[in-house]
Amino acid sequence: MKPNPDLSTGSVDDAALVLRHGSDLVVQSADGQLCLRVALVQQEFVVECLSGRMRLRSHEALLVEAPHLALNAQESLSLVSAGDMHLCASGKLSVTADAIALEAVSGDALIVANDDVRIDGERIRMNS
């Protein structure tokens, strides 16, 4: 796809930013291959990386805010922090998986509850 001369374009290095009137915004390589597409589809903004991997980087704090947020990974999902990590929910926090492994590699594992602590399993093995 070659840029249309009647559209607004701006080039950065070997890529071009193309605004398709009434359609979407695309970034394309010098050979015309689509790299990134931003479109409004049925009242929903869609951002598609069409050239493979994508990285979002910020030198300051990054905040994503929405009434509902879903992250969907087809193969695996990793959340990694070089410092502390906090999961906080005003409602219930549910974790569901085929198997769950919790490990404190240095220090205690602490469970604190305002009410009862229940462990339900076929067998409860302590120090085994």
Average pLDDT of the segment spanning 74-89:
96
Q: Please provide the average confidence, as pLDDT, over all residues in the chain.
A: 85
DSSP string, 54-122: -----SS------SS-----SS------SS------SS------S------SSS------SS------S
Sequence length of the chain is 128
What is this structure's pTM? Answer: 0.64
Q: Could you state, in order of their start, the residue ranges of all structural domains in the chain?
A: 9-49
Q: Is 13 helix (H, G, I), strand (E, B) or coil?
A: coil
| pLDDT confidence bin for 86, thresholds 50/70/90 | very high
Q: What is the pLDDT of residue 10?
A: 44
Average pLDDT over residues 104-122: 94
* 8 Å CB contact between 40 and 26: no
